[in-house]
Amino acid sequence: MAVVFDAKTTTWTNSTVATMTVNNLTVGTGSNRAIAVLLICGSQAVSFPAGLTLTWDSGGTNQALTQISGTLAANGPSSAVAAVYGLLNPTSGNKNLVISWTGNNEMHASAASFTGVDQTSIAVAFPNGNSHSVSTAGASPCTVTVTSATGNMTIAGHAQSSFVWTTLSGTTIATDAVAGPNLGVASNFDNGAATVTLTAAWASGTTPNISVGCDILAAAAGGAAPFFQTDWPNPRPLRYFNSNIWQETGNSSLPIPLTPQGQPFSQELGRMGRSCDRPPSAVGEQPGADDSD
């Protein structure tokens, strides 16, 4: 299974007070869903403000988002702090994402949802968090490199001092160079590979800048193997033997336990102890052979 894009915010949501509501993301009904939120603060030089919470479907299912390990980064010269937040199995629909914190601060948020994402845990589903910060006046573009794999997805958020954005790698989620007051912000995602460098270029000038990103892990293909042989589609020839006879049927009524990999356990019928899932030629026997010691 591969991670597949579902939906995204078409604009950044911005605030200079102590809360904001992102209401322009509609999550679909596909399986193995996840949301990634790019959150950037433009008035803190070390960390996000105290009391920060992100809640999807606020007032409904109230699903809390979690900061993705390795993505938190701060850029003192631009007073920027950024991170990626994630949520597994979000409620479908056009829900409110409410973000709150203590004290008035410049805050920016954009988001995207995906299907086909591993649902084990946030740490498993959003691995390989990374960041890149340029504290001096750096040239375009903002950039962050993420370790990933084919079938996965990568995502990133970027910030610089309000220059006009030009080109983003992969697929653009949203850009904003005017809301400020201190930052221009951008976000994008791209298909997974061994390593993926996500970039966001601006038109001209040099400025401190910051980028954060992570991998989004694909769910494993298929499901668990059935425990009983009778759970497999029929007809499926079954071969087994007792002390002196082979029997082959197309639809056994007796449940034969399997390993988690779907292979039959060795069985003893009568006085035999050999594996039951091989034909006579595989074990050097002939049908009807007597295996008495």
Q: Are residues 21 and 61 in the same domain?
A: yes
Q: Are residues 229 and 143 in the same domain?
A: no
Q: Are residues 26 and 67 in the same domain?
A: yes
By CB atoms closer than 10 A (0-12, 13-18, 19+), residue 172 is: middle
Q: Write out the residue range of the structural domain in which residue 289 sits.
A: 225-293
**H/E element, 282:** helix 280-283
Q: Are residues 120 and 141 in the same domain?
A: yes
Question: Can you give the pLDDT of all 293 residues of the chain as single tens digits?
Answer: 999 999 999 999 999 999 999 999 999 999 999 999 999 999 887 899 999 999 999 999 999 999 999 999 998 888 899 999 999 999 999 999 999 999 999 999 999 999 999 999 999 999 999 999 999 899 999 999 999 999 999 999 999 987 999 999 999 999 999 888 889 999 999 999 999 999 999 998 999 999 999 999 999 986 544 444 444 444 444 443 333 333 333 444 444 454 455 555 444 333 334 444 444 444 444 444 454 44
> H helices then E strands: how many in the chain?
2, 23
Quote the pLDDT of residue 237: 42
Q: Are residues 42 and 82 in the same domain?
A: yes
How many distinct structural domains can be found in the chain?
A: 2
* Pairwise CA distance, residues 209 & 179, whole Å: 17
Quote the pLDDT of residue 180: 82
* Chosen domain end from 156, 185, 216: 216
Q: What is the rounded radius of gyration, in angstroms, for the C-alpha atoms of the chain?
A: 27
Output the pTM of the full model: 0.76
Here the tokens at position 178 are 């005017």
Here the tokens at position 204 are 């001209």
Q: Are residues 149 and 10 in the same domain?
A: yes
* Chosen domain end from 171, 190, 216: 216
Q: Are residues 130 and 257 in the same domain?
A: no
Q: In the 8-state DSSP scheme, what is residue 204?
A: S
Q: Are residues 130 and 79 in the same domain?
A: yes
* Pairwise CA distance, residues 121 & 127, whole Å: 10
* Pairwise CA distance, residues 2 & 218, whole Å: 5
Length of the chain: 293
* Pairwise CA distance, residues 260 & 245, whole Å: 28
Here the tokens at position 49 are 């403000």
- Give the closest residue to 12 by CA, choosing from 104, 134, 81, 97: 97
* Pairwise CA distance, residues 173 & 223, whole Å: 32
**What are the CA-CA distances from residue 138 to residues 45, 167, 205, 238 (Å)?**
18, 17, 8, 68
Q: Are residues 95 and 171 in the same domain?
A: yes
* Pairwise CA distance, residues 83 & 109, whole Å: 10
Position 206: which residue type? T
> 9 — phi, psi (to 5°)?
-75, 140
Nearest 10 degrees: CA dihedral of 39, 44, 47, 51? -70
Hey, which residues does 216 pair with through a beta bridge? 153
Quote the pLDDT of residue 103: 94
Q: Are residues 40 and 185 in the same domain?
A: yes
* Chosen domain end from 162, 195, 216: 216
> 117 — phi, psi (to 5°)?
-95, 140
Quote the pLDDT of residue 77: 82
Quote the pLDDT of residue 292: 47
- For residues 198 and 170, is the Cβ–Cβ distance under 8 A? yes
Q: Are residues 262 and 205 in the same domain?
A: no
Q: Are residues 160 and 232 in the same domain?
A: no
